[in-house]
Amino acid sequence: MQKLFDGLTNAFRKNRGELDFYLFEKVVRKYNPLDGIDTTFLLLQASGYPIETTVSGYRLKTYFTPIDEQIFTVIDIETNGSKPVRSQVIEVGAVKIQNGKIIDSFESFVNCAYLPEHISQLTGIEPKDLRKAPSRQEVLAELKDFLDDTIFVAHNVSFDYNFLSASFERFGLGVIGNMTLCTIDLAKRTIKAPRYGLAFLNEFLNLEMDSHHRAYSDALATSKILLKSIKALPPSIKTADDLIIFAKANTKKRKELKSKFSKPSKKSSKKSYKPA
């Protein structure tokens, strides 16, 4: 499914955020030939991929959503190991951010029978905290509902995203299709600091988060980094999709993005983005 998510996103961006029925079917057939178009659309929505129908086809919601209106779900997880095939989530913390404010939150321990001593020492989580906690399936299902089709944000997002996506799939909840945003990448492009680890930025930026390696506390710290980074964005970064691209862009690409809307040439004016 990840190839389908990436293929659709690239196609949407090449076509100013919208695909007609023909182009959508063409991309779907390339990456997911076994399922029908209607079934694929429902799977995309169920996975959290931000897609919706239009009169003439489909649109990528994040392409048109202004940053202030976009909902970001900032997530942090604690696990009892590094590989989801051999390990599991033991704690989840998440906050939803919109227009610079926390609008919702979620946190839970996860039932677990095995907690290595070094993980307990690192996190401060004790085996007794997990014995009567909700089951993995229950917590993961609640988290998936909480995530919806918002942008998945984390500090080193690939770890949290991949671990949770594999865990969701293991329990029959499907993979994660949400757009992602890494606050390490974003901070490197908006905040001048010697290092960009979460613990260091917490102290360097005076985020005033006392605990580290606890899911909810780390999610809050990450959300503060996100908000500081958003305030430091160049004026040309207007939409949620602009932000996602900017966070991943190299120096040359970032310069292009910064000037993309400021002085469009006559040759490029037809291809410049026009907000909906």
pLDDT of 274 strictly over 60: no
- Residues 141-161: pLDDT tens digits? 999 999 999 999 999 999 999
pLDDT of 11 strictly over 50: yes
Across 30-34, 64-68, 79-83, 259-263, the highest mean pLDDT is recorded for 64-68
> What are the phi and psi torsion angles at 181 (to 5°)?
-145, 125
pLDDT of 267 strictly over 50: no
Query: Which contiguous run of DSSP H or E holds residue 227?
Result: helix 215-231
Q: What is the pTM of this model?
A: 0.89
At residue 243, the pLDDT reads 98
The two tokens of residue 273 are 């983005």
> What are the phi and psi torsion angles at 134 (to 5°)?
-60, 155
Q: What is the mean pLDDT of the chain?
A: 91
pLDDT of 241 strictly over 60: yes
Q: Name the residue among 226, 275, 73 with its Cα closest to residue 160.
A: 73
pLDDT of 211 strictly over 80: no
Query: Which contiguous run of DSSP H or E holds residue 18?
Result: strand 18-20
pLDDT of 272 strictly over 50: no
**Segment 17-36 mean pLDDT:** 94
